[in-house]
Structure 1
Amino acid sequence: MVKEEKEIHHKKMLNELDEVILDKEYIIKDESPYLEDYLYGVSDIDSKIEEFLYETGLDEEWIMFYRCLISKKVLDLKEYHKFRKIGETLFLMRNENDLEKFKNDDVTKDLNKIKDDTEEILEKLLNFTKNKEKNPNLTEDDLFKCEDIKKEFVKLIKKYNLLEDEEDKKKNIYEMDQFLKNAVKNKKIKFNKTDFFKEILELSTSKISSIQNKYQKEKK
């Protein structure tokens, strides 16, 4: 996220978090109990922390503010009230000890699982396409016409992995369906849309059809 976007989010959060008080377990001696005091400035976070996030791929899942790591999906949904669940959405980063705690935190493990699931889906898709086309030399990048298409596809898969609400998941599946339909039409992907849903995500044709019908009717 660019600095200008961080600053916009920062201003919104200050308004939302004006009265949020941290539980005693989250603060150390002489620190402020008010969460907004940890968001007084947007800054590059400590290089060791930034390096860790980049190496693990978590830089795409978390927004970095001065002394804080904040779950990106919370910002995207604008559900700032969820900051009250400190352990789930935000982590105070004061020093290297906090970084070590964060590395072992359950939230981090969950995010790594999401990342691993995404990679597993891509690997399954690649192997399926290799076998179908009888081309063992295909690489993951060969499945996409360009890097932008691959990034958009990966973003949709990550969202699919993150969502728990059934209705939200259906909307995401419809988004993927429309994205892949357009990508096939413009010859921007090498794999088959139906194969992806049926063989990789293990979604039945009838379920995909019902989702298509539902959201196409809503668009009218």
Structure 2
Amino acid sequence: MKGVHFFGAFLLLALATSFASAYDPSPLQDFCVAINDTKNGVFVNGKFCKDPELVIADDFFLSGFDKPGNTSNAVGSKVTPAFVDQLLGLNTLGVSLVRIDFAPYGGLNPPHTHPRGTEILVVQEGTLYVGFVSSNQDGNRLFTKVLNKGDIFVFPIGLIHFQLNIGETPAVAFSGLSSQNPGTITIATSVFGSKPPIDPDVLTKAFMLDKDVVKYLQSRFWMNN
């Protein structure tokens, strides 16, 4: 029960923070529930809006965030999103939420960015080593922190960041983001797993690696978490 109260309090904090500084354009109506059927829709913020007379409570509801994600994969983590595609009532509201599960010691949410959203993360269980890197303009400074249960950390919009479980037990965190669809660019996957592949000559010079190493990395299976 304490975990439920803790998560509820965090959710309110995340939503309040996101509303105060939402990156998405501010809505001009009470709500704009997204629909895929365009017959009676109006296109707003990348989605068609449902006729307000047809909107129901379930359009603003999503269950399942109490269920652990499957971390038996190459990176040992699972991100479960509540973006506009999963929760249609988020359309135009400028907020979203994710649950992140980490396998014991070594479970990693790899370096990535959210091009359209700032992220505020709270640890519900476990111990995480987290950090982000500032832009070239600010000297590519690395900011890191070890987080325990109840600790909060913010990742500024667009900056590369990561989370690593350094505890011996599974870890769980929840993140609020200041966009209904913040986007995710996983650095290794985007660079070495692009389709079609980036010319190895580009990556050889950019990363100062032997071309055989670049080709090996491009041959690996890169997963989107």
TM tier relative to shorter chain? under 0.3
Larger helix percent? 1
- TM-score w.r.t. structure 1 length? 0.25
Larger strand percent? 2
